[in-house]
Structure 1
């Protein structure tokens, strides 16, 4: 018998039902990623089957803990393949999100000059949607991967029309955001119209204690009925014991007898506009540490003083090495 999931809620104002904590596979689908200590987590076994086994082990642990939202992307190496295979093999039914717009180019190497290439054209969408269907199955949520104002994707009438078709077929379409301009990108997406209707209804954004600048825009999206998914809540490892933990956070860890990542995730879970907060765990042990966030109670304003200027935060993130 399957364990009981965590309590579910709608993703914004519409299905699918989701749990407050989900699992993202950015670090599980490929041998190289920018999380601190990623190479150390994987060890010497970085072939496809070793990573599949690891991904399934973390997915099994997440399922056993009650998580019922799982996130992948075309550019996460074989993450869609791993997730789709796991769902079929286990016979599980869960809410699933994926993303289009980046192509994985590292060829399973950690020392590749380029790991992924961004292209938000209709040609990429038309190529990647069938690829997702083949290996993952039909996702509940399908997002433009790291949409920005600079790519012009939110003004591309052909892309928007195709996404509107998918929305009409019952897929929740939307965008993920990155960079210091997240709020501006999201607000532009909130105003998109195709034949008088906005096809978008989900956003996945980077929000954490170091980079909370998109929070007000996320509140606006949630008030409009959008689903809100939080990614990078532990700042790619900077808000874990592997990072340079700020003294305020270290003191709270000691007081609550928990880990920095648990507090960072609990801070995201405390935001009233957050429907799902993603764990990006690479190991079962990391996931277990992350799960402690479910039993912590923080106010939405907890540790506000840790916030950095967005430009500083994103500059430091861009300097992280792929390992």
Structure 2
């Protein structure tokens, strides 16, 4: 198979590459990425055929958007798709007054949650400035979930997001400043709540539909299919373990993997070994088999990691491999798998 292919973006129908550039790492997630390496990765993504780039104000407190805008500045605007997010507002501040965690050496802005109508409009306009663009193709409501806020506060922010963000996104779409509106959160149940409360074009599913987790098949993905809602997959390695395997210290959802997850990954790795399939290749190729999935955005820290991902999505995997995963109960029977 080819490393990069073109798909239609759900009911909106514009073209998007089925693999995009996840720009969270270039916000200096956990540790710095040199400016030269950030630029080299964006250039390599373009050279490889990627024409979808995903960022957010939160990533490095604006640093990801600043870097992405800089390196895409002279690319023909109609030749690529870019997504960003709302739900936080950045305000200029002295570096010594900013808590950047989990980012390192971000841009000189404080970040605060703001799901109001006015806050959404300000966040969008600020993103245009940082990116140096006249419009953004896809705009997601960001992190209005239990993972970020806890059970009780999530209920508050959900209502604020529907009363504020959602109205603003509808307005921006009507004005042609945004092509598609959606939600990007870490809990599939919260995505279902948003889908039932509003009419969204797309969802950014972060780590909740992977080779390890397919509960989204129960209700969320069938609803997306019926509505023509395009899915973008982030966190396709479940925070690390589907890239590293069940090694000591392996991360699941960015925390140490529990015993039952380690055991399931070991069993998947055993099937991989029998068919000589890299675990990471199976993880990435599984994502694109579902008909609602338009693209996935694996994050990379180096050009070498990007080249590895490009090789993984093109690695041949026999049909019998997927059949064995299902027969051993390691993948759900109703989960679409690559042909």
| TM-score normalized by the length of structure 1 | 0.75
Q: Deviations over 1:81-110 (max 9, x none)?
A: 111111114446211111111457544864
Q: Which residue is equivalent to 2:20?
A: 22
Q: CA deviation at 1:186?
A: 2.3
Q: Deviations over 1:285-321 (max 9, x none)?
A: 21122122234447778746458xxxxxxxxxxxxxx
For the residues of structure 2 that align with 1:133 and 1:111, how far apart are their CA atoms? 22
Q: 1:123 to 1:242 in 2, by over 3 A?
A: farther
Q: CA deviation at 1:173?
A: 0.9
2:178 aligned with 1:178, yes or no? Answer: no
Q: Which residue is equivalent to 1:87?
A: 72
Q: Count how many residue pairs are aligned between Structure 1 and Structure 2.
A: 280
Q: CA deviation at 1:191?
A: 3.0
Q: 1:215 to 1:117 in 2, by over 3 A?
A: farther
Q: 1:278 to 1:99 in 2, by over 3 A?
A: same
Q: CA deviation at 1:168?
A: 1.0
Q: Note the aligned Cα RMSD (angstroms).
A: 3.1
2:153 aligned with 1:147, yes or no? Answer: no
2:44 aligned with 1:61, yes or no? Answer: yes
The SS at the match of 1:205 is strand
Gaps of 5+ in 1: 34-38, 40-45, 308-323
Q: 1:298 to 1:174 in 2, by over 3 A?
A: farther
Please show how residues 1-323 of structure 1 align to structure 2 within 5 Å. 6-30=4-28, 32-33=29-30, 39=31, 46=32, 51-77=34-60, 78-91=63-76, 93-102=79-88, 106-107=99-100, 110=104, 117-136=112-131, 137=133, 138-148=135-145, 150=155, 151-153=157-159, 156-170=162-176, 171=178, 172-179=180-187, 182-183=188-189, 185-193=190-198, 198=199, 200-206=200-206, 207-216=209-218, 217-241=220-244, 244=247, 246-291=265-310, 292-297=312-317, 303=325, 305=329
Bigger fraction of residues in helix: 2
Gaps of 5+ in 2: 91-97, 146-153, 248-261, 332-339
Q: Which has the larger radius of gyration?
A: 2
| TM-score normalized by the length of structure 2 | 0.72
Q: Work out which structure has the larger RCO, using CA pairs closer than 8 Å and 6 or more positions apart in sequence.
A: 1
Q: 1:153 to 1:276 in 2, by over 3 A?
A: farther
